Chain A
Amino acid sequence: MRTRLPLSLLGVALALLWLVPLAWAIDTSIKPEGETTRVPVTWIPDVFTLDAYRGVFAAGDLPMWLFNSAIVAGGVTVLTLAAASLAAYGFSRLDFPGKNWLFALVLAGIMVPPQALIVPLFHQMQTLGLVDTYWGMILPQLAAPVMVFILKKFFDGIPREYEQAAELDGASRLRMFWSVVLPMSRPVLAAVGVFTFVTAWNNFLWPFIVVSDPDLMTVPVGLGTVQSSYGLRYAEIMASTVIGGLPLVVVYAFLQRHVIRGVGDAGLKG
């Protein structure tokens, strides 16, 4: 019991230390530009202003990048859930020629580092005419074999009796998948969905390579260009990082438990 108080204080101190960079970014963003470069630094601004945010919104790029991120991350999540759960069901429940061989091929892909494929993948995107398109950003991110593996493992654990009952009612395979297995798999679908969304929302490297049209940039790629376009206007740079980083942090603040479980469950296996 004697160790309880000092360790609690240590925990809180570390938590506050971990908040400093973000707090400093927010603090900078509500100062007038002149005050951001003052020495010594001030934590409490002399003048509180939202000018930096007005400036960022007036420039107009950030809302568009948020929109693009939502399209890409949303598209990747929905399509990954659809394609991976269908495949996982096929591998879990049905027997077809070449199945074991194909599943081994999928498993092998779990070890492949996508970063090592950027060059041939880009070359292929040129051939397919997908450079500078939403599909060019979305499609390669759907090749996530680990999600098939996670979902198959979960489906394997669902007793077959439920489907046999549905079969007695004349349900087709697709029907059994859709109305029996999927509803019973909500926790794992949520985990895979959360993990996929977070990863896709924050993905920098691939969208950065495949998109150069500013109108198609996602938040991580677009923000990479502000350093040069805003020059030394630190308040505006920090305002754009706050807006760009906010969406997932707010979701996390409200749905902490779900996000933790999603990232933990799917990430552990990925």
Chain B
Amino acid sequence: MAVDTVRAPVELTAPARRTRSWAGLWFALPFLLIYVVFMIWPILAGLWSSLFNTSLAGGDVEFLGLSNYAEMARDGAVWDSLWNTVWFTILSTPPLVLVGLGMALLAHRARRTGWLLRFSFFMPFLLPVTVVALIWLWIYQSDFGLLNAAVAWFGGDPVAWINDERTAMWAVVICTLWWTVGFNFLLYLAALQGIPRELHEAAAVDGATPAQRLWRITLPLLRRTTGLILVLQLIASLKIFDQVYLLNEGNAGPITRPLIQYVYEQGFTSYRIGYASAISYLLFLIIILVAFAQFKIFPAGRDD
């Protein structure tokens, strides 16, 4: 009896120790299957088919070696659309980060109006991109749109916001800012709420003005968050397609056409899977490089 009471706990806790068995694999298996079939396999299949002249329309498949990549290097449309993607990223990232920060600072200090600010800044992020594009198409509409009504009110001439190459990219940037800045706002707001109140109180007791507290306490403490938002934003902007495609009702033309749209056109309009895959890998490579740069610049976020 006495022996049993001594031995029992040991025996019972034994399986709780880490014993190697296949059980864990069963837990992971459903996810791993989906992951391999719908992510790993397409990555490899895409790489493979970029070496062939595979067509969505079927037909004979011929090995091309690297000639899809060579064609890509010569194809001006690839570099034009890559430039549009990069130019969009350059134009949109600063306002998306700074306006998000400003909104968070305003909403964080707001008392009675806090609910209104949080609602209105974040709400557009919850709208499907098609809803966003249709609303902005209507606002940008050159004859009856709200924006040209405002321009006319100030005595200006109507502008064809989306079709004029001087304004087309800005139209995309403003629409995107309205739609997605709420996400950055939210991340900044969470970071602000994590700053201990005592820091501000102590500084206020020492006679620091609100402006000094903003520059000396709040902003330095937001540096990590800013780094994170910057990288997330760069990656998101490089993947732009939806709103450009929808704002231009499918025929963006070369003015704003981003790289993904060119991939889409090559793959689904010209049925050239091999060539479209080759172009995809260009974007893939750029995004992976940005993500790696993140690890270099902001080493391992241990406490995230």
Point out residues on A near B: beta carbons under 8 Å: 3-4, 7-8, 10-12, 14-16, 18-22, 24-25, 28, 36-41, 82-84, 86-87, 89-91, 93-99, 102, 105-106, 109, 111-124, 126, 139-140, 142-143, 145, 148, 160, 163-164, 167-168, 173, 177, 198, 201-202, 204-205, 209, 219-221, 223-224, 226-228, 234, 237-238, 240-241, 244-245, 248-249, 252-253, 256, 259-260, 263-264, 267-269
A172 to chain B, nearest CB (A): 9
Whether A83 contacts B31 by the Cβ 8 Å rule is yes
In contact, A205 and B242 (Cβ under 8 angstroms): yes
Q: Is the CB of B123 within 8 A of A249?
A: yes
C-alpha spacing A168/B15, complex, angstroms: 10
- Could you tell me if A221 and B25 are in contact, using CB atoms closer than 8 angstroms? no
Which residues of the partner chain A approach B113 to less than 8 Å between Cβ atoms? 8, 11-12, 15
Residue among B35, B122, B146 with the most chain A CB within 10 A?
B35
B32 pairs with A15, CB closer than 8 A: no
Judged by DSSP, the binding face of B is helix
CB distance from A205 to the nearest CB of B (A): 6
CB of A268 within 8 A of CB of B304, answer: yes
Are A122's CB and B28's CB within 8 A?
no
**Is B130 touching A119 in the complex (CB atoms < 8 A)?**
no
Instruction: List residues of chain B with CB under 8 Å of any chain A CB.
Output: 12-13, 15-16, 18-28, 30-32, 34-35, 37-43, 45-46, 49, 54, 56, 102-103, 106-107, 109-110, 113, 115-131, 134-139, 141, 143-144, 146, 149, 152-153, 178, 183, 186-187, 189-190, 210, 228, 235, 238-239, 241-242, 246, 249, 260, 263-264, 267-268, 273, 276-277, 280-281, 283-284, 287-288, 291, 304
Whether B280 lies near A123 (C-beta < 8 A) is no
- From known contacts A264-B187, A267-B186, infer whether A224 and B277 are also in contact, taking CB-CB under 8 Å: no
Complexed CA–CA distance, A138 and B116 (Å): 35
* 23 examples of A-B residue contacts, CB within 8 angstroms: A14-B102, A14-B121, A15-B121, A18-B120, A18-B178, A22-B123, A40-B152, A86-B30, A90-B27, A94-B24, A95-B18, A95-B21, A96-B23, A96-B25, A105-B40, A109-B40, A113-B239, A116-B239, A119-B267, A202-B126, A219-B130, A256-B119, A263-B125
Please determine whether A204 and B126 come into contact, CB atoms closer than 8 angstroms. no
